[in-house]
Amino acid sequence: MASITIRQNESAVIPQGSNNPMVIEFDEPMTMPVLSISLWDARNKTALKSWSQDDVTIEKNMVICPLTEEETRQFPSGGMILEVKALDNNGYTVFWCQTAVNVVKRYDKDIDIVGGDP
């Protein structure tokens, strides 16, 4: 399966209607006790999707954030901000970063259905 890779301090593209996971690569393995990830609309500062530590898969220096076709189809096209926070056990932020994400408009608006009847 293809994925959307976002390396720390780089930007990425999410096509509307895709179900590819976002893969966030860090310079070091993620060993923080609590991880919080949010995708924000940069224009009006609304959260479009949030993931907790239980929602993601962590593999060494990669955090894999699942996305569904239905979710990404609802994302408005344009600039987004991906915010990653790691908290200690007391709730204090020990790591924080933001990176740009661009959602690309999909003109057909149909969700891809592979096999079977819609």
Query: Residue 79: inside a domain, yes or no?
Result: yes
In this model, does residue 118 exceed pLDDT 50? no
- pLDDT grade for 43, boundaries at 50, 70 and 90: very high
Residue 33, domain CATH: 2.60.40.1220
Query: Residue 54: inside a domain, yes or no?
Result: yes
State the SS3 of 4-62.
EEEECCCCEEEECCCCCCEEEECCCCCCCCEEEEEEEECCCCCEEEEEEHHHCEEECCE
Top-confidence residue, 31 or 61: 61
In this model, does residue 49 exceed pLDDT 70? yes
How many domains does the chain fold into? 1
| 13: β partners | 102
Query: Residue 12: inside a domain, yes or no?
Result: yes
Query: Residue 61: inside a domain, yes or no?
Result: yes
State residue 116's pLDDT score.
Answer: 42
In this model, does residue 114 exceed pLDDT 70? no
Query: Residue 113: inside a domain, yes or no?
Result: no
Query: Residue 47: inside a domain, yes or no?
Result: yes
pLDDT digits (tens, 9 = 90+) for 64-110: 999 999 999 999 999 999 998 888 888 888 888 888 899 988 776 55
Query: Residue 109: inside a domain, yes or no?
Result: no
Query: Residue 48: inside a domain, yes or no?
Result: yes
